[in-house]
Amino acid sequence: MSFAKMQGLGNDFMVVDTISQPVFFNESQIKKLSDRHFGIGFDQLLLVEPPQQPNTDFHYRIFNADGKEVEQCGNGARCLARFVKIMGLTWKYKLRISTLKGVISARMHKDGNVTVDMGVPNFEPDRIPLRYANRELNYAVDVDGIKYSVGAVSMGNPHCVLEVDDIEQAPVERVGPAIGQHHLFPQQVNVGFMQILSDREISLRVFERGVGETMACGSGACAAVAIGQLQQRLGSKVKVHLPGGDLTIDWDGEGQPLLMTGPAEFVFEGQIEI
């Protein structure tokens, strides 16, 4: 099987073209391939498939390192867009790509950056999903007797975000998995730890469900900016500093699509027997 390794700000992917080669994975295979000592090593596996809807160019599926399929991945969307161009699967610079949660669009720039229209953020509890009856700006989540105040949103996948004073001291490894698997989130949740530097700049660390803390999370950056703006803490254009690098998020407010711009890099290609 042919594959490529790609990364977006250190969030790394194994990308497989299933259009020109028949490939099927099970959960145990994905876990083995994701292992950084005994496999290829990646945060997510991305499968490029033929279009499933009218007026789309490709469909793509996303699997976390634990083998579970998920709905959305912002860094993955940028990498997928560059992958299909580099591999000669398209001549276009603007693409419409379907996912489990809908259609996104991607536009490639000459400088190597990719802008992805991540769709409209959804704050309704039943769409996140979140076990709260009413929508609120902040939700109380109890972890070992300590109540954390978090904002929550769906970017096609579930996110919650809590504000911290010092991103370096944020309790990501302790609080991240506890909130991520909290009973209030029936499908688990990605947990962002956000330090607001100004209304145009934040620092962010994200504990991703099924993966752990990653170098970058594109949908997590989108979620943090959407929640921060809804809470009137952030402006319409925000630079997000992640451990792996920076993303730029543009959002004109509730009901409008959110745009994410950042790099996507081809690392290497190879073949492996599975």
Q: Please give the Cα distance from 227 to 158 (Å, whole number).
A: 13
Q: Report the pLDDT value the prediction gives residue 112, as an integer from 0 to 100.
A: 87
Q: How does pLDDT run across 34-54, given as a tens digit for each residue? A: 999 999 999 999 999 999 999
Residues of the chain with CATH 3.10.310.10: 2-118+263-271, 125-256
**pLDDT for the residue numbered 4:** 98
DSSP string, 179-209: HHT-TT-TT--EEEEEEEEETTEEEEEEEET
Average of per-residue pLDDT across 144-159 = 95
Q: What is the pLDDT of residue 240?
A: 98
* Annotated binding-site residue? 209: yes
Residue whose C-alpha is closest to residue 77's, from 100, 46, 35, 38: 46
Residue 75 annotated in ligand binding: yes
Q: What pLDDT score was predicted for residue 102?
A: 87
Tell me: is residue 168 an annotated ligand-binding position: no
Confidence band of 101 (pLDDT split at 50, 70, 90)? confident
Considering the domain 2-118+263-271 in this protein, what is its CATH number?
A: 3.10.310.10
Active site (catalytic) residues? 73, 217
The pLDDT-based confidence of 28 (bands split at 50, 70, 90) is very high
Asked if 76 and 208 touch (Cβ cutoff 8 Å), the reply is no
Q: Please state whether the predicted TM-score (pTM) of the whole model is above 0.85.
A: yes
Where does 125-256 sit in CATH, by number? 3.10.310.10
169 belongs to an annotated ligand binding site: no
Q: Is 154 annotated as a binding residue?
A: no
